[in-house]
Amino acid sequence: MKAIIFDLDGTLTDSGEGIINCASLALRTLGLPVPDRDTMRVFVGPPLRETFQKFGVRPEDTERAVEIYRSRYIPVGLFENTPYPGIPALLAALRADGHRLYVATAKPESMAVTVLDKFGLSGYFHRICGATLDGTRGHKDQVIAYLLEDMEPADEVIMIGDTHFDVIGAAAHKIPTIGVSWGYGAASDILEAGALAIADSPSHLLELLSK
Catalytic position from the list 7, 14, 162, 166: 7
For residue 211, name the pLDDT band (cuts at 50, 70, 90): confident
The C-alpha atoms of residue 195 and residue 160 are separated, in whole angstroms, by 9
Q: Does 30 score more than 90 pLDDT?
A: yes
The C-alpha atoms of residue 45 and residue 51 are separated, in whole angstroms, by 10
Contact 5, 104 (CB under 8 A): yes
For residue 140, name the pLDDT band (cuts at 50, 70, 90): very high
- Give the three-state DSSP class for 77: helix
For residue 57, name the pLDDT band (cuts at 50, 70, 90): very high
User: Which pairs count as long-range contacts for 149-153, CB under 8 Å and 24+ apart, including other chains?
Assistant: 151/3, 151/102, 151/127, 152/3, 152/100, 152/126
CATH 3.40.50.1000 fits 2-14+82-210, yes or no: yes
The CATH 1.10.150.240 domain(s) of the chain lie at 16-79
Mutual angle of helices 202-210 and 87-96, in 10-degree steps: 20
The C-alpha atoms of residue 28 and residue 16 are separated, in whole angstroms, by 18
CATH 1.10.10.60 fits 16-79, yes or no: no
The CATH 3.40.50.1000 domain(s) of the chain lie at 2-14+82-210
Q: What is the pTM of this model?
A: 0.93
pLDDT tens by residue, 12-27: 999 999 999 999 999 9
CB-based contacts of 139, cutoff 8 Å, min separation 6: 47, 106, 165, 169
- Give the three-state DSSP class for 70: helix
For residue 45, name the pLDDT band (cuts at 50, 70, 90): confident
pLDDT of residue 159: 98
Please tell me the total number of residues recorded for the chain in this structure.
Answer: 211
pLDDT tens by residue, 170-201: 999 999 999 999 999 999 999 999 999 999 99
The C-alpha atoms of residue 77 and residue 108 are separated, in whole angstroms, by 14
Query: Is 134 a catalytic site residue?
Result: no
**Mean pLDDT for the stretch of residues 129-138:** 93
Contact 159, 179 (CB under 8 A): no
The C-alpha atoms of residue 135 and residue 145 are separated, in whole angstroms, by 15
- Give the three-state DSSP class for 108: strand
